[in-house]
Structure 1
Amino acid sequence: MSDIDDIDLPDIPRAPVDPSGDGFGSNTILTDADLDRAYPNRPRNKNPTLPFADLYLSLFEPLLANKKKKIGVGIRGTRALKPHEIRRDIIDQFISRWRNEVGNDIYPVLRLILCEKDRDRSVYHLKEKTIGRLLVKVMKINKDSDDGYALVNWKHPGASKSAGDFALRCYEIIRKRPMRTTPGNLTISQVNSMLDSLSLASKEGEQLPIMTEFYNNMNASELMWLIRIIMRQMKVGATERTFFDAWHPDAAALFNISSSLKRVCWELSDLEFRMDPDGKSVSLMSCFQPQLAQFQKRSLDDAVKAMNLTPEDPVFWIEEKLDGERMQMHYENGNFMFWSRKAKDYTRLYGSCFDDGSLTRHLRGAFDTGVKSIILDGEMITWDPRLDCVVSFGTLKTAALEGIRNPYGDGPRPLFRVFDILHLNGECLINYTLQDRRTALERSVKTVVRRLEVHGYEVAREAVEIERALRKVISEASEGLVIKNPRSVYRLNDRNDDWMKVKPEYMTEFGESLDLVVLGGYWGSGTRGGILSSYLCGLRVDGNHLEPGGNPMKFRSFCKVGGGFTANDYSKIAHMTDSQWIPWDPKKPPNEYIEIVAGGRGVDQPDVWIRPDKSIVLEVKAASVIPTDEFRVGKSLRFPRFRHIREDKDWQSALSISELIALKEEVEKEKAEEEKRIEVEKRKQRAGKRIKREYAVLGASDKPADFISSTVQGGPWLFEGHSFYVVSDAATPKKMGKAEMEHLIKSYGGKIYQTKDAVSDTHVIGDRNNVKISALKKEGTHDVIRPAWIFDCIRQHELDLQRGQKGDYILPIEARHVLHATASVERRVAATVDQYGDSYARDLTTEELSKLLQDMPGTFDRTFVVAFAKGLCERDQRELDELPGWMFKTFVIYVDTRDHGEANENLKPTACLALFAGARIAHDLHDIEITHIVASNCQQRLRELREAIKWRPRIPRIITKDWLKSSLEARTVLDEERFLPV
């Protein structure tokens, strides 16, 4: 492609314009007449909407009970239902009832169920404390009474167990003095109308009458769920995808390209209607749900393998992960629109044309003359021209507002870094490869320095190149990296291995751990409700930092620490500081002892504070020290984590500002020397290696391809003597085109035919019901096997070769492998697994084993396996780091079961426990990636282990098995030194 006009794009018609762009805006309450004019074809309900009470009685509470496993197991036919099937049945029954009793317009109720996805109603301007103050006035109780105080200070512990759960705290107080004890009569339509009014009310005088009406017409349970809707914190045990799939097969796809609940409800009210494939494309001025980066793998090698790169084309891209806000820009003939990842409209902030906004007024000439319309995907960050660098994300909105007031000032400004293009001149590009999209991007967009720039990338082929780039971003205190497959297409609202995050983890500690004084505390919420769950820590002001005649007991804020504590740690800290905590008064801060931040901005003020001489010292470890304007010291810790309570130290012997500066300089010097030493060692090792080169015969067939792990080369040809007819692409467990599937099968000795009847026993392979497979089903002459069978055969083949076994047989077909089969085959495949679904012929993957244990009845100890697997499905992906066990994802654990030359039976289950906890299990002590070794207290064996690992650049920690169990129970990674072998 030579220029913009040469970009060869298919003739794809534009998708329909988003009907939510009706011109009314999100701050307008529409009448029925307005809706009729804007949406003449919308579905109409035949009857009034259901009572709001029915929503929580027949949907919310049954779903929540199923989530907590407090309802009986239903029966579908003769088989007991699993929790996810019960969840779907509850939703299906409610939707069916709505269609039968109300009509086909489900929008009124879906905007309450999925309130966080409703962008047609503006925010309520209500936080927990504001709602608490409103309820105090509505119920006419004294704000200084126990209940009045508990509502406003909902995180503070009290006699109840609801601390940290605001809606539950409201329920407990409201039910003591309710206006109603039975469900109210407000309908879902009436509740929506009142919520619309509440969203437009910005002052207490406007909000109070609406909250009073809610209180007078609802019981305590209804009000609890109403508050969850207002706070947009439902968590009923079902995801948006579950509700979308229950409503219509195309609902999720339409939401992905429009971010509009209104479109999903009104365009897909008829189950018989199916969207045209071309209609599932992004379109101009319609907010789409962007592709997201997958969470990082256990190792950099695993990340590279997951992208399924081929030996012929092993290239991948490395991009810096930016510390900003994900943003999409739509442009057409001089008009702009901006949306965030959460579909929030930021057009007024960044600009709607070349004459307004903090950004677009500077973008004249940013597009090639051939560009008429374009959609860009990127990150909005803050650039400070005076510092000549990117500054923290928290300054973005302030910089944008200042850019509107002073468009040509020299202060911080928004900078849009673009890394993808989704639409160009009326054509959707999501089905083009990233490499082709990048070509279109570079020829369409021109750099406007420090306003709009195309984000750069590095071309890489090996995991070691990621490590080099990662060390660079760590030194620059950057967010991390994103690695991308340049051959991948853009997948809306999806996380997959084509884009993966790589973030700095606890690869090394920052020098010695730091001893910090606790200055303040923050009340927790959720599972940590009712206790001080995190602490504000500080450094002692000394030397040149202490004013003449100043208080020697003065401290400056340095970091917040909330990770690594066990219940015993919290209890011990509470005991040691009992009766010493003082409520924080913003009007009278303890400036004599504590400086929070210069200028009154930065870190959140603590809920309580403590005098340094009455406080305790915590030992804290971290990845690095970074500059920040959030804390008064001007620096803070990256990824701080609690390690110990230092009972042997007090405020006078804790770390000071001068000592931190000296320690940081020393660590940086040692780090540079260590990196130099390691590089010298690597050069020596490379020089001493002799690489054995294999000779290839021109025209000879290839050896089996490196597909899954392929640590063993050569060996028997798995599919020799078998014939295959591949009918469709592979969709699961990994995406692979038909041609790639055929090449893979041939590389393992199989023969490929383009007709089912070439050989009598041809294996027909397909993963979706296309025309050819539908014809095969009607004929009934062939079974259709999913590509997953091919992948399982290859995986088992390689595992067998690694164990020294022959590995020359193909697996029997299981039920999970069958897309279509005759009755005789179905009976045969039923005998390939046991009653729990465990295969007799192959090794299960970790995911399969976890699911098997989850569904298996019994009373054995499944420490956190069920909760972990279930949480992966139901929680927002951003919360994965908080799930039990997920914190072990970066660990490589070797379980040493030797004890005086014999097997130690007590340690054998530990490997299974560590595996479920997210760790990779090393089977060889010589694995250089090992981070932890689980061993017994046998002194002779401990000496052998220490001797074996003492020369490694990174020495693994030797710990007892109690470290794994205790960490899982505490739901955080505990300090290893508590669990060293005696």
Structure 2
Amino acid sequence: MSDIDDIDLPDIPRAPVDPSGDAFGPNTILTDAELDQAYPNRPRNKNPTLPFADLYLSLFEPLLANKKKKIGVGIRGTKALKPHEIRRNIIDRFISRWRNEVGNDIYPTLRLILCEKDRDRSVYHLKEKTIGRLLVKVMKINKDSDDGYALINWKQPGTSRSAGDFALRCYEIIRKRPMRTTPGNLTISRVNSMLDRLSLASKEEEQLPIMTEFYNNMNASELMWLIRIIMRQMKVGATERTFFDAWHPDAAVLFNISSSLKRVCWELWDLEFRMDSDGKSVTLMSCFQPQLAQFQKRSLDDAVRAMHLTSEDPIFWIEEKLDGERMQMHYENGNFMFWSRKSKDYTRLYGSCFDDGSLTRHLRGAFHNGVRSIIVDGEMITWDPRLDCIVAFGTLKTAALEGIRNPYGDGPRPLFRIFDILHLNGECLINYSLRDRRTALERSVKTVDRRMEVHEYEEAREAADIERALRKVIAEASEGLVIKNPRSVYRLNDRNDDWMKVKPEYMTEFGESLDLVVLGGYWGAGARGGILSSYLCGLRVDGNHLKPGENPMKFRSFCKAGGGFTANDYSKIAHMTDSQWVPWDPKKPPTEYIEIVAGGRGVDQPDVWIRPDKSIVLEVKAASIIPTDEFRVGKSLRFPRFRRIREDKDWQSALSISELIALKEEVEKEKEDEEKRIEVENRKRRPGKRIKREYAILGASDKPADFVSAGTEGGPQLFEGRSFYVMSDAAMPKRMGKAEIEQLIKSHGGKIYQTENATSNINVIGDRNNVKISALVKKGTHDVIRPTWIFDCIRQHELDLQRGQNGCYIIPIETRHILYAASSIERRATTTVDQFGDSYARDLTMEELYKLLQDMPGTFDRTFAADFVKGLGERDRQGLDELPGWMFKTSVFYVDTEGQGEVNENLKPSAFLALFAGARIARDLQDTEITHIVASNNQRRLRELREVIKWRPRIPRIVTKDWLKSSLELRTVLDETQFLPVPSDDW
């Protein structure tokens, strides 16, 4: 019996191997007969597919319009639909129409809708400039004309709104000279067939006839959406999960285990059919969506608590986070397949058998006896045997290609570090615990001399163990840590607290940031379209690096900075460098001032350049310095991030090459000294004795607040233990700068960071879609909460303190607090308010209550308050006098809305406010008990009101709605003379 057969695993039913994987590979075009033979159970459509025009008219454009809507508007007396409900309705209607008019095979259209998930058609050999050149030839326009130039140089700003949006730029130009002004008659099936041909075409003479056919048969709008499909940049406001859920309840599950749209469409076309537990298992040679690590918690103690350790089993695991590419390897009887996290097939690069590839040719004997098939999950990294260490991630593809050309050389090579096993000899292991999976992994895989290894881990029991490991990876400039719960199962395509990454973000090698001179600029795309969104930065050539007779104003390229800029930063840089930018001419590069790479032929040349003495200095911070051949210095910054503009510096005082070398040597010496210190401390550490060390992550503010906290004296503060990243100023309900918001948070105990990845569960705060927030939204990794949530938390806290409640209660997030939702927070937010938007957890302000009542559909029974009080017992009524909202119990209000048009709507909520404050609402002006009239500033109407009431024994006070609102807000009846209507001729 083999070692594998001896593995003691829990009794979980074996999952059969699914034969319906995509065995043909991408770009294999099959005939209908071949499809019937390969997939006999696939559904057949009863009618031809819909026209392509219906796809954009019925689906894409309605979804895009809904994406731009703030909120749905309902018919009077009905509840308005929310954007996510409208989105689902649009998709449901389209799918229902497809089933009724076409049939149950939705694969032809879904591969266009979710084009970025379609693995059956590989990427096209087309980028924006290539498509632009093709369209210039298709439309027979001069490439040097305004439109020809705009197509090829699509990022450059102009008079239109399409800068940075290539598809929109194409639409604007095609619309001037279309072959069709009405939608074409190309069907979805025909478009797929043409796209198949286009994906196989690698030369311009093959691509041009296909693009010409598209141009002749589509109008400008159709071509715009076609280009978005080719670029795989749809962004219609609906994720693949939304489409999957609308198609079938198990669609997302099947996609997670197979990464195949074809399987989702052809196996789950019947809504009555449901997958059993065996069918929800990973299968050999079928790419799955791997489990992902959760983002770091607020503190290490929080991370440990989140794993719900028990006294019987308090162990968790710590692994080093590797700087490579996530990879899954499938093996069966000598055959291999490799896929990346994004389902990209890398089998040709790493090898399909023991006789090819840069990796698998070295894996003979890598598996124990008895291993017939296996699926493992790990990280592909680069190992340099000459340096005996892991090298930068950017060298991985180069090392793999060199490994194919020179299999037994001594240069850098791919190294596969395995940390999990999902399948063994026909048995799916995802429902086993990590500890059991690890046992199976160690008995299945052998270490192969820096080619394939089982990733090591260490056991831990408390947060101090993570801290010690984190200090070690910081000293070694490693990526960080991953902590794992050994009792957890493997969850496909999910982030949860069983796997958490701890990354010391921006653990810079330097105590100070680097001051770099801007040498060039790159036009932005998408939300940054029309502006220079990133900048080429360089170091001054000095000392021995400057040749005799060379220009002392000579700079070498060092890095490209594009992160950390706000809209204000871009505006300020544009103002400071106005009229100084020069278009980059590849034939005549400005070598007198700038060296891009050796020979001056950089693959990523800037769009424009600027003389160093006319330029500005940026302060840039980064994770580390890495070797590179992309920039002339030979080194560059990893994850460079803009900090601020150094207006006090110029090109002569910015960082030079010699200063960088000296700084790096100083840092390396400090690192060596720190390693020695840690080693001495570890020797001194006694067993069982824990030394408490201060732990901090760079980016957090470590300065004590200079202002008074609103927390209870000596007690906990409101935001204590919470982390915040403020990305913009506040616009509502009052304007407040970013720095002011940060001070406000710190004064209430919160910690401020300057990166969204500084800690897990960080609260990202922003109030407008500036460039930085737009970039974060594109990532889809974090919710962005408006500063109003901060203000509401503080306001409610202060109200609680006034009432003698000294707790630090953080109010739940409401829909109004959300600028952008990347998680399920939007769904949870809807449960924090009632159907009218009234919060369950906090007191509304007068403005909010006024708005709520204004938007409330229908009217209320004006006798409600009186009847309600009559229904209370005597004991219940005794406490009403203490309620601020009962201050008008002796008042009778008349809200004047006669003949005032829009003013009617503005005054309507005043009646509701008075009603809820205990007043009686008079039905008409003839009621002699009226004490107050709420009116507008209409001069004519004020004269009429005074004529009606001037002979009454008790003349009512005429006030504005502000008197009512202010009285309720201050919880006292204010002097009416301060709120008299001011006559005006505006009405």
TM-score (norm 1): 0.69
1:521-578 deviation digits (Å, cap 9, x = unpaired) = 1111121111111111111111122233333222122222223323232222222222
Q: Which residue of 2 aligns with 1:375?
A: 375
Alignment of 1:880 with 2:881, yes or no, is no
Residue 624 (structure 1) shift: 4.3
2:443 aligns to what SS in structure 1? helix
1:443-465 deviation digits (Å, cap 9, x = unpaired) = 11000011111111222222233
Q: Which residue of 2 aligns with 1:559?
A: 559
2:471 aligns to what SS in structure 1? helix
CA distance in 2, matches of 1:620, 1:117: 36
Residue 108 (structure 1) shift: 0.5
CA distance in 2, matches of 1:224, 1:916: 31
CA distance in 2, matches of 1:622, 1:888: 31
2:467 aligns to what SS in structure 1? helix
1:15 aligns to what SS in structure 2? coil
Residue 270 (structure 1) shift: 0.8
CA distance in 2, matches of 1:671, 1:398: 30
Provide the aligned length of Structure 1 versus Structure 2: 737
Q: Which residue of 1 aligns with 2:460?
A: 460
Q: Which residue of 1 aligns with 2:657?
A: 657
CA distance in 2, matches of 1:563, 1:913: 28
CA distance in 2, matches of 1:863, 1:490: 33
Cα pair 1:325 1:340 within 8 Å, conserved: yes
CA distance in 1, matches of 2:520, 2:557: 9
Cα pair 1:556 1:594 within 8 Å, conserved: yes
Relative to 1, partners in 2 of residues 1:208 and 1:499: Cα closer, same or farther, differing over 3 Å? Answer: same
Q: Which residue of 2 aligns with 1:120?
A: 120
CA distance in 2, matches of 1:27, 1:320: 38
1:419 aligns to what SS in structure 2? strand
CA distance in 1, matches of 2:161, 2:781: 25
Q: Which residue of 2 aligns with 1:184?
A: 184
CA distance in 2, matches of 1:136, 1:455: 53
Q: Which residue of 2 aligns with 1:194?
A: 194
Percent of paired sites with the same residue: 85
CA distance in 1, matches of 2:765, 2:777: 19
Matches within 5 A, 1:510-589: 510-589=510-589
CA distance in 1, matches of 2:405, 2:787: 45
Relative to 1, partners in 2 of residues 1:910 and 1:690: Cα closer, same or farther, differing over 3 Å? Answer: closer
Q: Which residue of 1 aligns with 2:436?
A: 436
Cα pair 1:20 1:262 within 8 Å, conserved: no
1:765-800 deviation digits (Å, cap 9, x = unpaired) = xxxxxxxxxxxxxxxxxxxxxxxxxxxxxxxxxx9x
Instruction: Give the counterpart letter for 2:277 in structure 1.
Output: P
Unaligned runs of 5+ in 2: 692-711, 718-763, 821-987
Residue 28 (structure 1) shift: 2.4
Relative to 1, partners in 2 of residues 1:290 and 1:579: Cα closer, same or farther, differing over 3 Å? Answer: same
1:490 aligns to what SS in structure 2? coil
CA distance in 2, matches of 1:428, 1:679: 43
Relative to 1, partners in 2 of residues 1:328 and 1:535: Cα closer, same or farther, differing over 3 Å? Answer: same
Cα pair 2:765 2:787 within 8 Å, conserved: no
Relative to 1, partners in 2 of residues 1:397 and 1:228: Cα closer, same or farther, differing over 3 Å? Answer: same
Matches within 5 A, 1:442-481: 442-481=442-481
1:131 aligns to what SS in structure 2? helix
Q: Which residue of 2 aligns with 1:175?
A: 175
CA distance in 2, matches of 1:459, 1:553: 55
Cα pair 1:22 1:38 within 8 Å, conserved: no
2:400 aligns to what SS in structure 1? helix
Relative to 1, partners in 2 of residues 1:372 and 1:398: Cα closer, same or farther, differing over 3 Å? Answer: same
CA distance in 2, matches of 1:540, 1:530: 29
Residue range with higher mean Cα deviation, 509-518 or 131-140: 509-518
CA distance in 1, matches of 2:572, 2:766: 25
Q: Which residue of 2 aligns with 1:717?
A: none
Q: Which residue of 1 aligns with 2:298?
A: 298
Q: Which residue of 1 aligns with 2:33?
A: 33
Residue 392 (structure 1) shift: 2.4
Residue 627 (structure 1) shift: 4.3
Matches within 5 A, 1:862-901: 864=766, 878-880=779-781, 884=784
Instruction: Give the counterpart letter for 1:228 in structure 2.
Output: R
CA distance in 2, matches of 1:679, 1:378: 30
1:504 aligns to what SS in structure 2? coil
Relative to 1, partners in 2 of residues 1:86 and 1:682: Cα closer, same or farther, differing over 3 Å? Answer: farther
Matches within 5 A, 1:239-250: 239-250=239-250
1:456 aligns to what SS in structure 2? coil
Q: Which residue of 2 aligns with 1:597?
A: 597
Cα pair 1:366 1:446 within 8 Å, conserved: yes
CA distance in 2, matches of 1:514, 1:339: 38
Relative to 1, partners in 2 of residues 1:690 and 1:426: Cα closer, same or farther, differing over 3 Å? Answer: closer
Relative to 1, partners in 2 of residues 1:123 and 1:625: Cα closer, same or farther, differing over 3 Å? Answer: closer
Q: Which residue of 1 aligns with 2:20?
A: 19
Alignment of 1:609 with 2:510, yes or no, is no
Cα pair 1:74 1:86 within 8 Å, conserved: no
Instruction: Give the counterpart letter for 2:781 in structure 1.
Output: L
Residue 402 (structure 1) shift: 2.0
Residue 255 (structure 1) shift: 1.1
CA distance in 2, matches of 1:681, 1:369: 45
Q: Which residue of 2 aligns with 1:211?
A: 211
Q: Which residue of 1 aligns with 2:406?
A: 406
Relative to 1, partners in 2 of residues 1:684 and 1:326: Cα closer, same or farther, differing over 3 Å? Answer: closer
Instruction: Give the counterpart letter for 1:473 in structure 2.
Output: V
Relative to 1, partners in 2 of residues 1:896 and 1:190: Cα closer, same or farther, differing over 3 Å? Answer: closer
1:841-869 deviation digits (Å, cap 9, x = unpaired) = xxxxxxxxxxxxxxxxxxxxx9857989x
Instruction: Answer with 1 or 2: which has the greater Rg.
Output: 2
Cα pair 1:379 1:418 within 8 Å, conserved: yes
Relative to 1, partners in 2 of residues 1:863 and 1:430: Cα closer, same or farther, differing over 3 Å? Answer: closer
Instruction: Give the counterpart letter for 2:173 in structure 1.
Output: I
Residue 48 (structure 1) shift: 0.7
CA distance in 2, matches of 1:77, 1:149: 54
Residue range with higher mean Cα deviation, 625-634 or 381-390: 625-634
Instruction: Give the counterpart letter for 2:590 in structure 1.
Output: P
Residue 394 (structure 1) shift: 2.5
Cα pair 1:18 1:286 within 8 Å, conserved: no
CA distance in 2, matches of 1:880, 1:599: 40
Q: Which residue of 1 aligns with 2:228?
A: 228
CA distance in 2, matches of 1:515, 1:219: 51
CA distance in 2, matches of 1:12, 1:410: 46
Cα pair 1:112 1:229 within 8 Å, conserved: yes
Instruction: Give the counterpart letter for 1:12 in structure 2.
Output: P
1:579 aligns to what SS in structure 2? coil
Residue range with higher mean Cα deviation, 318-327 or 63-72: 63-72
Residue 135 (structure 1) shift: 0.9
CA distance in 1, matches of 2:632, 2:666: 23
Unaligned runs of 5+ in 1: 692-798, 805-861, 919-982
CA distance in 2, matches of 1:462, 1:282: 34
Alignment of 1:62 with 2:62, yes or no, is yes
Relative to 1, partners in 2 of residues 1:625 and 1:396: Cα closer, same or farther, differing over 3 Å? Answer: closer
Relative to 1, partners in 2 of residues 1:863 and 1:316: Cα closer, same or farther, differing over 3 Å? Answer: closer
Relative to 1, partners in 2 of residues 1:550 and 1:382: Cα closer, same or farther, differing over 3 Å? Answer: same
CA distance in 2, matches of 1:519, 1:888: 40
1:516 aligns to what SS in structure 2? strand
Q: Which residue of 1 aligns with 2:866?
A: none
Instruction: Give the counterpart letter for 2:16 in structure 1.
Output: A
Relative to 1, partners in 2 of residues 1:323 and 1:519: Cα closer, same or farther, differing over 3 Å? Answer: same
Cα pair 1:358 1:401 within 8 Å, conserved: yes
Residue range with higher mean Cα deviation, 65-74 or 381-390: 65-74
Residue 185 (structure 1) shift: 0.9
CA distance in 2, matches of 1:512, 1:910: 36
2:492 aligns to what SS in structure 1? coil
Residue 251 (structure 1) shift: 0.9
Q: Which residue of 2 aligns with 1:641?
A: 641
TM-score (norm 2): 0.69
CA distance in 2, matches of 1:100, 1:132: 39
2:235 aligns to what SS in structure 1? coil
Cα pair 1:509 1:621 within 8 Å, conserved: no
CA distance in 2, matches of 1:574, 1:648: 17
1:880 aligns to what SS in structure 2? coil
CA distance in 1, matches of 2:172, 2:517: 37
CA distance in 1, matches of 2:77, 2:457: 55
Cα pair 1:584 1:609 within 8 Å, conserved: yes
CA distance in 2, matches of 1:49, 1:683: 73
